[in-house]
Amino acid sequence: MRLASYNVENLFERAKVMNLDSWSEGKPILSDYAKFNTLIAKDVYSTADKAAMLSVLEKYKMLKAPGSTYFVLRENRGRLMKKETASVDAEIVATGRAEWIGWLELKQEPVKAVAITNTARVIKDINADVLGVVEAEDRLGLKHFNELVLASTEIGAEEYRHVMLIDGNDERGH
């Protein structure tokens, strides 16, 4: 019996920042994302924390709008900030984490077709009886990949009889 594991790095959709041409392009963006999420997790927001949050939001042009190229600010209950208008500067209005429920979310985009096909080719070449994959979006995506991509005439791999997914704890949602 052949057992294997493979990081598929998302099958059909991944964070836009992870689809950039190089790691060096995405690294500072992910660093800002981590910094912002660390700041909003604090029980109490200091003046310096609020300034740092606004700095990240300004850098990604999010002082007037909830989204940017790479992020969406979710404010599900309560408010983190007051948006900038023609007459008012943006302001962090929450004094700490307990005042609002929300987060900064990474925007997603489709994975390029060639990457999907190449992932299937690698899995076919591995030829494992049991394959554990890491970073699959969800069970339905994994099932579709198995049935529609692996078993396609282009790839010609035998599909796996069983598909199971155990949710992980990745804060990006994958």
Question: Residue 67 domain-assigned?
Answer: yes
DSSP assignment string, 38-62? HHHTSSS--HHHHHHHHHHHHHTT-
Q: How many CA atoms lie within 13 Å of 40's alpha carbon, on the beta-carbon side?
A: 25
Q: What is the mean pLDDT of residues 14-33?
A: 92
In a domain? residue 113: no
| Contact assessment for residue 106 and residue 16, using Cβ atoms and an 8 Å cutoff | yes
**Per-residue pLDDT tens digits for 82-107:** 998 888 899 999 999 999 999 999 99
Assigned domain for 145 exists: no
Residue 162 lies in a domain: no
- Decide if pLDDT at 171 tops 70: no
- Average pLDDT value over all residues in the chain: 91
Q: Would you say residue 173 has pLDDT above 90?
A: no
Give percent above pLDDT 90 in the chain.
74
Residue 170 has pLDDT above 80, yes or no: no
What is the Cα–Cα distance from 31 to 48, expressed in whole angstroms?
Answer: 18
137 in any annotated domain: no
Residue 53 lies in a domain: yes
pLDDT greater at residue 81 or residue 112? 81
Label residue 172 by pLDDT band (50, 70, 90): low
In a domain, residue 104? The reply is: yes
Note the pLDDT of residue 84.
Answer: 85
CB 91 within 8 A of CB 82: yes
Give me the domain span that covers residue 50. 18-108
In a domain, 170, yes or no: no
**Local structure of residue 15 (DSSP, 8 states):** E
Predicted confidence band of residue 65 (pLDDT cuts 50, 70, 90): confident
Number of domains in the chain: 1
123-134 per-position pLDDT tens digit: 999 999 999 999
pLDDT at residue 28, as a whole number: 96
Q: Is the pLDDT of residue 24 over 90?
A: yes
**Mean pLDDT confidence for 54-68:** 92
pLDDT in tens, 120-167: 999 999 999 999 999 898 899 999 999 999 999 999 999 999 999 888
